[in-house]
Amino acid sequence: MDSAFAAIAERLKTATSVVALTGAGVSAESGIPTFRGPEGLWQHYKPEDLATPQAFARDPRLVWEWYDWRRQKIAPASPNPAHEVLAQLEQIVPDFLLITQNIDGLHRLAGSRRLIEMHGCIWQVRCLTEGTVYENREVPLSLLPPQCACGSMVRPDVVWFGESLSVEDQARAFAAAESADIFLTIGTSALVQPAASLPIVAKDRGAFVAEINPVPTPITPLVDSHLQGAAGVILPQILSILLKS
Ligand code: OAD
């Protein structure tokens, strides 16, 4: 396994353009539950009851209770070594882009700035009447559903199932995947589109694709290197080899 880490470190050293895609697994070591798997959120909750525009239209209070609970889990969490290494790679690689499906804000907290939060951010809310987006960090929320100063209800500024991602974010993410020398897919089950297509697009355009995950995923057969294990353990080892070389 060490030689696989050294091989990636060697590639990262000479790469011009690196894209990393992360999913819930990158925050697992910060104590934030993932969605799938035996302990995943979707074992206990149904996405169609909580993470769709229809669910929100039907019962905004229920949806907000779920987000309030998730905000309470995320608020005390700190970035782990995986988030920290990705923030450091941004400083080392000439052209680095981090694309995350996570809404927990931990990459930003770790210092990542060349960052696309594809599914939005749990700390941002959007007024249903005015469309304005602003930060709300109240934990727990004192009013459910929370209201805008204009008196209208707000919703979490996140992307729900059945909703489109920002056109600009998608265009930027796919353009980066197309021109990447190295594409890292980390802590994602690679099941949700369009994020799941990014490593495939990168591979088709000639990138070296490496996956970090404790278990195989649908894209494992396509990647050049599957590093089996926890992101918070593997990424620091790769960085340490990179910094010594
Ligand atoms: P998932 O819960 O589907 O997958 C998490 C992945 O992380 C799994 O493949 C785990 O094996 C892996 N994993 C767990 N612990 C890890 C660790 N310490 N290091 C590395 N990997 C680890 O989460 P996502 O792929 O992010 O969308 O799910 C994608 C989207 O589906 C989410 O953004 C969310 C969800 O429904 C929306 O809510 C729109």
Of the listed 83, 107, 119, 226, which one is catalytic? 119
Please tell me whether residues 206 and 105 are part of one structural domain: yes
* CA 196/CA 162 separation, integer angstroms: 16
Tell me if 41 is assigned to some domain.
Answer: no
- Model confidence at 42, in pLDDT bands (50, 70, 90)? confident
Same domain for 112 and 228, yes or no, is yes
Q: Which of 80, 162, 86 is nearest to 119 (CA)?
A: 162
137 and 210 belong to one structural domain: no
Is position 134 within any domain? Answer: yes
Mean pLDDT of 213-221: 97
Do residue 71 and residue 184 come from a single domain? no
CATH number, position 108: 3.40.50.1220
Measured from the CA of 190, which atom of ligand 1 is nearest?
A: 25
Q: Which residues line ligand 1 (CB under 6 A)?
A: 23-25, 28-29, 34-37, 40, 47, 51, 101, 119, 159, 161, 187-189, 191-192, 212-215, 217, 230-232
**What's the domain range around 152?**
47-76+126-158
Say if 238 falls within a structural domain.
yes
User: What DSSP character marks residue 105?
Assistant: -
The pLDDT of residue 49 is above 90: no
Residue 219 lies in a domain: yes
Catalytic-residue membership of 119? yes
Number of domains in the chain: 2
CB of 37 closer than 8 Å to CB of 239: no
39 in a domain, yes or no? Answer: no
The pTM for the full model equals: 0.96
213 with 172, same domain? Answer: yes
Query: Among 158, 179, 213, which residue terminates a domain?
Result: 158
Please write the tens of the pLDDT for every residue from 1-10.
579 999 999 9
CA-nearest residue for atom 25, ligand 1, is 188
